[in-house]
Chain A
Amino acid sequence: MIHTGVLIIGAGPAGLCAAITAGGAGADTLVLERSHEPGGQLVKQTHMFFGSEKQHAAARGFDISAILLNKISKLENVRIITNAAVLGAYDDGVWTADIGGRYEKIRPETVVVSTGASEKNLPFPGNDLPGIYGAGAVQTLMNQYGVKPAERVVMLGAGNIGLIVSYQLIQAGVKVLAVVEGSPRIGGYLVHAAKLRRMGVPILTAHSVKAAHGESGLESVTVWGLDQNWQGIPGTERAFKADTLCVSVGLSPLTELLWQAGAKMAFVPALGGYVPYRDDNLRTSINNVFAAGDSGGVEEASSAMVEGSLAGLGAAEQLGLNIPNIEDKKQELLRQLEALRQGDAAERLRDGRAATRLHIKGGCKKC
């Protein structure tokens, strides 16, 4: 049995920031990471971040990951274990994990679930063919491993990820045939879209994929126009000879462990699917379980970092540690979150946050 003060599940932006605040407060902190390296999706983000300086704006994702890991390396009470997948949460407070092929039991005093999100796909004939990849997988191949995902790509989705990854594909020497977007409007920042248009990439709004074709792998993609009810319009089909279709249609929070732990959940489409109810400390309905980052509702890496910092503070506070100016620190982080969630585009997100807010101070005492 492994004992720890704070167990952090996932070493992405949220988990690493939670480790910095929990560890910085003196908590005995264990971070378990499923992959062979920490950093989560930051390690494959080559673009410069928006947001404010506090969330390392203007730095590139992989640099931010290195900055966070450097901070953690100075904290002797924080340990990161890679190749460690957390498997289950049990009623008696025991969590289990596959650590380097060994089945281990862990008894943490508090837990921060920062497991991130998984990529969605769309239903269309042939959507399971080899060569149809999530946008994150494409970034993994080209930005983490230096391998071209394809020669000729169709991008499905013109949100920020779809636009940024399209540009990254061009940087890697891949031909982007078109960006296809179901909505009548481009979802991502227009600065990214304009960059692609200048490079001659068509962005087809109110279009979607009708079907993907190929025998052993993707050979071509048929795209068609959508009417006002999002139904395909016969006669508007056009074919693209692509060996990869990159799907960038959103993410769903990875909440399996929160369900297992028994956290109260709600379905909030604006947050990507089922999300946990949380209080202002990001504590779920389970008294010692916090959720931070995309696993608490899909946003982006900047807010994941702030949420991680907040959850790490809360988890350390719950251990009874004396943390100087903790209320000021929390208020500052809450202000940063509020600033990141400003604007008309974030209205549904703010509504979703408000609808899943736990108002019980100090979490749900009954649990």
Chain B
Amino acid sequence: MYTYYIIKNSERGINLRIEAHPILDFKRGNPVSFTFDGVRVEACDNMTIAVALHAAGFKGISESMLKKRPRGLFCAIGNCSSCMMVVDGVPNVRTCLELCKDGMVVETQRGKGALI
């Protein structure tokens, strides 16, 4: 299952899979795919959006509000706000906590995002 998404992503030259680990045996989930700013990303349903994007080679996933500098994840546990994105039209989603779902539309957030 996991191999499938790695193969798909590696068509773009990206392979960040940990091939063998001395201690851990990773439970790979079911394959899903979503779009990131229009680009199709293959992932698994037990990984968060931010992790899936990192694994697919997308490190810059948001931008700073004033200077528009690229931002990536920093804490990956929901504290730092560095990975907030627009998911299915909803802004300020902490993508390091949100699991991937098939057909999701994930976009880079510009600015603060409208609350209502």
**Chain A contact residues, CB within 8 Å of chain B:** 34-36, 41, 46, 60, 83, 85, 118-119, 121, 128-134, 136-137, 140-143, 145-149, 171-173, 216-217, 254
Contacts and interface: CB of A to CB of B under 8 A. Distances in A.
Given A141-B51, A147-B16, A36 B59 contact: no
A267 to B, nearest CB: 19
Contacts of A172: 18, 21
Given A137-B75, A147-B18, A130 B61 contact: yes
A129 B73 CA distance: 10
A131 B75 contact: no
Contacts of A83: 97
A16 to B, nearest CB: 16
Contact of B76 (A34, A60, A140): A140
Contact of B74 (A60, A121, A148, A216): A121
Contacts, number: 104
Contacts of B26: 145-146
Contacts of A146: 2, 17-18, 21, 24, 26, 28
Contacts of A131: 59, 72
A246 B51 CA distance: 16
Contacts of A132: 72, 74
9 contacts: A34-B97, A130-B60, A130-B61, A133-B73, A133-B74, A136-B75, A136-B76, A142-B18, A145-B55
Contact of A254 (B47, B51, B64, B79): B79
A130 B59 contact: yes
B38 interface: no
